[in-house]
Amino acid sequence: MTRTAPANLKSNDQCWCGSGRKYKRCHKGSEGRVRPGRVSPMLTVPDGIVPTDYYLTGRPARRDEPMVKSPEIIEAMRRACRIAAEVLAVTGEAVAPGITTDDLDRISHQAYIDRGAYPSTLNYHGYPKSICTSVNEVICHGIPDDRPLEDGDIVNIDVTAYIGGVHGDCNATFLVGEVDPESRRLVEVTRECRDLGIAAVKPGRPLSDIGRAIQGHAEVHGYGVVRTFVGHGIGEQFHLPPNVPHYFTESASTMMKPGMTFTVEPMITLGSWREKMWDNGWTAVTSDGRRTAQFEHTLVVTEDGAEVLTEL
CA distance 307 to 310: 9
Statement: residue 19 has pLDDT above 60 = no
Predicted pLDDT of residue 8:
72
Statement: residue 305 has pLDDT above 50 = yes
Higher pLDDT residue, 262 or 12? 262
- Please tell me what DSSP assigns to residue 255: B
Predicted pLDDT of residue 294:
99
Range 46-51+70-308 has CATH code 3.60.15.10? no
Are 239 and 124 in contact by the 8 Å Cβ rule? The answer is no
For the entire predicted model, the pTM comes to 0.91
pLDDT band, residue 20 (cuts 50/70/90): low
Helix (H) or strand (E) segment spanning residue 158:
strand 154-163
Mean pLDDT of the region 256-275: 98
C-alpha distance from residue 5 to each of 31, 153, 224 (Å): 7, 19, 30
Statement: residue 299 has pLDDT above 60 = yes
Domains of the chain, by residue range, sit at 46-51+70-308
